[in-house]
Amino acid sequence: GAVVSQHPSWVICKSGTSVKIECRSLDFQATTMFWYRQFPKQSLMLMATSNEGSKATYEQGVEKDKFLINHASLTLSTLTVTSAHPEDSSFYICSATSGRTGNDEQFFGPGTRLTVL
């Protein structure tokens, strides 16, 4: 199956700093990438949908100025958590798909554990 990687796998940062997380599709071109957030023992909550070459679409309640998403190429999307605070600590997961029809499989990255001190 298709492979999606995330870097870093875990990161610890100080409050007030910014952190960038990369999501890459290794063997396919991802027209769409998704960013999810998962709190301990909870489900995945969609944060935003990112289409290559266009602005990301954020879900209701997600601050677009705090969670900056860039999808500059068909194989790379980045999520930057700006001015991170302890409440931003979470498991961030990306997924990628090569289609737009609704039944295209999403391939998930292994996730990035962010801890803000």
Partner 1 sequence: AQSVTQLDSQVPVFEEAPVELRCNYSSSVSVYLFWYVQYPNQGLQLLLKYLSGSTLVKGINGFEAEFNKSQTSFHLRKPSVHISDTAEYFCAVSFAGGGNKLTFGTGTQLKVEL
Count of residues near partner 1 by CB under 8 A: 29
Q: Which of 16, 53, 72, 104 binds partner 1 (CB under 8 A)?
A: 104
Question: What angle (nearest 5°) sits at the alpha carbon of residue 3, between those of residues 98 and 57?
Answer: 45
DSSP class per residue in 15-54: TT--EEEEEEESSS--SEEEEEEE-TTS-EEEEEEEETTS
Site for partner 1 in 42-71 (CB under 8 A): 42-46, 49
Residues lying near partner 1 in the complex (CB under 8 A): 1, 4, 6, 32, 34, 41-46, 49, 91, 93, 95, 97, 99-106, 108-111, 113
